[in-house]
Structure 1
Amino acid sequence: MSDVQAPGSGFYVYGVTRGLTGEEVGDVRGVSGAPVRLIEKDGLTALASEVSLSEFGEAALRENLEDIEWLESTARAHHAVVDAVSDGAATVPLGLVTVYRSEERVREALGARHEEFARALDRVTGRTEWGVKVYADVKQPEAAAPAGKEAPSRPGTSYLQRRLVQRNTAEEERRRVLDVAEYIHCQLRDLAVATRLHRPQDPQLSGEQGWMLLNAAYLVDDTRVEEFGDAVKHLTRLDPDVRVRLTGPWAPYSFATEEEPEEEVEEAWQGS
């Protein structure tokens, strides 16, 4: 028997799981400090909190989503619930601020998207998401001397000097570090069951200097986590101008939906 819904309230849904009991949720609190409750349908369980529509209704959200402090607080609470539950059961996170007007609407969504959620849970069970970010510390090369201004030299030296300048152009440096990033991605992709390539982050958000060459997520079997970590450590030594950052483990936000075609590393670079 479900609890009576308060007037003017709805249900904020954090994610979908299965095989979870109320005891495992414990005293986890969600957005606005609301307790987390379980709403079940056909073997799937939605993690939800009853919330006021004066704050989470459509009209209110248009204003609240423009409030950075409100958005950050809501995001922290959302992620905290998903992280707490995913430690004990495979969980498919939903997008931030997914709100339904009633418990019955939540059940209808579980039924309508049952196959999609079941496939996603199968995909992430026994696996965790790891993030790998690759940055390049490459200095811009000095401009080449104008043609006809080379100092006198022995035969053949001028040709070698010109080739050296060409090799050190910005484009060559760009290509070189991109090749390193692509190699890193290929090596790690072979150790993962799925990957996602994200757009580079704004340096003001990441706090990192230099070019962001790769911003990738890897879904890794829990039995291969140590192997994956060792591979990242090895790849950090590939090139002194390239820095590799490993983050995680994370709840599988990047793998909550069906697999999409990967972007090329080159395209990710161009998006920076």
Structure 2
Amino acid sequence: MSGLRYVYAICRPFDAALQAQVTGVDGVPPGQLAHHGLIAVVGTVREEDFAEESLRRHLEDLDWLSATARAHQAVIDALTAVTTPLPLRLATVFRDDAGVRAMMEAREDSFRRTLDRLDGRVEWGVKIHADAEATRPAVEPQKAASGRDYLRQRRQRSRAHEEMWESAEKFARRLHDMLCGQAEDARLHAPQNSALSRESGRNVLNAAYLVPRSDSEAFAELVERAKGEEPGLRVELTGPWAAYSFAGLETDGGDAADGATGEAGL
């Protein structure tokens, strides 16, 4: 199949086989491209889909974007099971293998430093949501007999809401501090918009933690014990993932195909 070279990740050589059923973008199983002791995990994609103008249109097509992201992530997940990958940006494409090697050569030192830092480590995600039901008063307010009563009831409801959020944020800070003690590094991400994430309730913690594989079971157990500890709060654990939040790659241009992405950043 002729086309552009799609790059999923950079990693060190590994012997273990990826899952046989893993296919990448466009249904093409991932392969390996070696250069100076590093491996680029690559596939081949249709130029008519990934050249600059076509890609720009596709990125506005949520169905296409979702399918491409799932295929990309499936390869990264398979790699994470057998090695420490350095994931590259979705739709990182180059004209040919020479372009991929030129990118690897230009960024070799950065790739090696990052792989050394992340070796044997994975990312775990922890989110805390305050359930929408928890924001409602436990007892329905009585019909106000006067304007004074109405204002008093409003103040009481407002205080109850404030106390609930303060309690949720206090719990989130306490859990985050405890998890930081079990992780080598942590990142606090912006709270998710519930309308976009389709998660119910308010997101009060959205964090990522860098954890050695050998400590992952203990880390996950710590999060599991926190579930149900605070009424009205939902604790969610995801992972283990490739260490997206800790890759720290700079974004710069590569030998891209006619201006297509060609950026080995996150």
Using structure 1 for the length normalisation, give the TM-score.
0.78
Structure 2, unaligned runs of 5 or more: 251-266
- For residues 59 and 148 of structure 1, the distance between their equivalents in structure 2, rounded to whole angstroms, comes to 62
Query: RMSD of the TM alignment (CA)?
Result: 2.9
- SS at the partner of 2:17? helix
Is structure 2 residue 111 aligned with structure 1 residue 121? Answer: no
Instruction: Give CA deviations for 1:73-124 in whole Å, capped at 9, x if unaligned.
Output: 1111111111112211111111110111121111111111112211221222
Aligned to 1:256: 247
Determine the structure 2 residue equivalent to 1:202.
193
* 2-structure distance, mates of 1:146, 1:124: 64
Question: Could you list the runs of 5+ residues in structure 1 that have no partner in the other structure?
Answer: 151-160, 260-272
| Counterparts of residues 61-140 of structure 1 (less than 5 Å) | 61-137=55-131, 138-140=134-136
Count of matched residue positions in the alignment of Structure 1 and Structure 2: 241
> 1:172: Cα distance to partner?
3.2
Match of 2:217 among 191, 211, 226: 226
- Any idea what the Cα deviations from partners look like across 1:171-206, whole Å, max 9, x if unmatched? 333222111111111111111111122222332454
The offset of 1:246, in angstroms, is 1.1
Percent sequence identity is 41
Displacement of 1:165 in angstroms is 4.4
Structure 2 residue 179 is matched with structure 1 residue 185: no
* Bigger relative contact order (CA 8 A; separation at least 6): 2
The one-letter code sitting in structure 1 at the alignment partner of 2:161 is: A
Aligned to 1:50: 44
Does 2:174 match 1:174?
A: no
Distance 1:26 1:216, change over 3 A: closer
**Per-residue deviation, residues 125-160 of structure 1 (Å, max 9, x unmatched):** 2122111110113325588x999958xxxxxxxxxx
Rg larger in structure: 1
How far apart are residue 258 of structure 1 and its match?
5.5
Q: State the alpha-carbon separation in 1 of the partners of residues 19 and 249 from structure 2.
A: 31
Distance 1:76 1:116, change over 3 A: same
**Higher mean Cα deviation, 203-212 or 40-49?**
203-212
CA distance in 2, matches of 1:37, 1:213: 40
